[in-house]
Amino acid sequence: MDPLSAWIADWKIPIGRWGRDFFDFLTTNFAWVFDTLADVLASILDAFVDLLLAVPPILLVLIVAAIAYALQRSWKLAIAVALGLLFIINQGLWKETIETLVLVVAAATVSMAIGVPVGIWAAHNPRVYKVLRPVLDLMQTLPTFVYLIPVLILFGLGAAPGLIVTVIFAAPAPIRLTYLGITSVPQPMLEAGQAFGATKRQLLWKVELPAALPSIMAGLTQCIMLSLSMVVIAALIGADGLGKPVVRALNSVNIPLGLEAGLAIVVLAIILDRIARIERGSDR
């Protein structure tokens, strides 16, 4: 190495050590906060899993198919959903599928609960967006394995850290799409709201959010898909679900198991995507 580069390398900035010190500080001083949070999250997720597993699988299949029909008004979709779920029962992956489903729905719910208000805030406040944008880029580009480690240290193994990494990974999508939806509301519509005396809150609820709804719903479907793609990675830190058999298959080079679990994930993804896709018939 040339002397200059060697000199530069000698003065290595101890970013890694700082990070470790920071997380050490958190674990020594706030361990109880993270432990309690992990316990609460885990018990909530477990409770939902137990509840769904208490229902006979066939009955649940019918219920999900009914929901699909209620939301999309399509017999074809309802039948396809039922067939997909029956396939999963057939493959003996029902318990894992329910665990994954609960994790994904929980992660998507939390991501939307964070993402939509933050997106609205950023849309109304350019300065907030300026700060937010690099943070979102960081959340989406930082390799997931990198924040898997600190989350593992803080929350231990289990469903709770799985939920948290999934939210970190999925939340930027609804934030961005909500921001996009709100900022692209046509100016004349906003002016119509103002001209008829809308308060800021009325403008948000009666003009901005309805106008941004298609974009926000696209955020929801993206959020669900991103959560599903985290299933396998979450399994690495002990989250139950369809990721576990995949990881196990990888470790033991078990092609049949990997194929079965992989297909189950695909089936679940398609079902969730089709059910959650809300297209407004009245619009445009």
Partner 1 sequence: MTTAVNFQQVDILFGTDRQRADALPLVDAGKSRADILAETGAVLGCAGCDLTVERGEISVLMGLSGSGKSTLLRAVNRLNTVARGHVTVHDGDWQADVVTCSQAELRKIRRECVAMVFQQFALLPWRTVAENVGFGLELAGVPARERTERVMAQLELVHLTDWAGKYAHELSGGMQQRVGLARAFATQAPILLMDEPFSALDPLIRTKLQDELLELQDRLKKTILFVSHDLEEALKIGNRISIMEGGRIVQTGTPEDIVLRPENDYVRDFIANVNPLSVLTAWNVMRDVRDLEAAGDGWMWLDRRQTTRFKLDANMLVIDAERNGAPAIWVSCDNMEKMPEDRPKVYWATAGTPLKTVMQAMHQSQTAPVALFDEASRFVGAIGIRDVLRAVIRR
Whichever of 132 and 211 has its CB closer to partner 1, that residue is 211
Whichever of 134 and 197 has its CB closer to partner 1, that residue is 197
- Per rule CB under 8 A, is residue 59 in the interface with partner 1? no
Of 39-47, 56-64, 158-166, 209-217, the window that binds partner 1 (rule: CB under 8 A) is 209-217
- Per rule CB under 8 A, is residue 210 in the interface with partner 1? yes
Of 71-79, 182-190, 230-238, 269-277, the window that binds partner 1 (rule: CB under 8 A) is 182-190
How far is residue 35's CA from residue 163's CA, in Å, rounded to a whole number?
Answer: 14
78-99 in b/e form (b: 16+ CB < 10 A) is bebbbebbeebeebebbebbbb
How far is residue 54's CA from residue 45's CA, in Å, rounded to a whole number?
Answer: 14
Interface positions, 245-284, toward partner 1 (CB under 8 A): 280, 282-284
Number of residues that bind partner 1 (CB under 8 A): 22
Site string for partner 1, 184-203 (x = CB under 8 A): --x-xx-xxxxxxxxx--x-
Closest approach of partner 1 to the CB of residue 282, in Å? 5
- Per rule CB under 8 A, is residue 91 in the interface with partner 1? no
How many residues comprise the chain?
284
DSSP assignment of 238-264: T--STHHHHHHHHHTT-HHHHHHHHHH
What is the crossing angle of helices 94-124 and 209-229, to 10°? 140
The pair of three-digit structure tokens given for residue 121, joined into one six-digit string = 């805030």
Query: Which residues contact partner 1 by CB under 8 A?
Result: 186, 188-189, 191-199, 202, 206-207, 210-211, 213, 280, 282-284
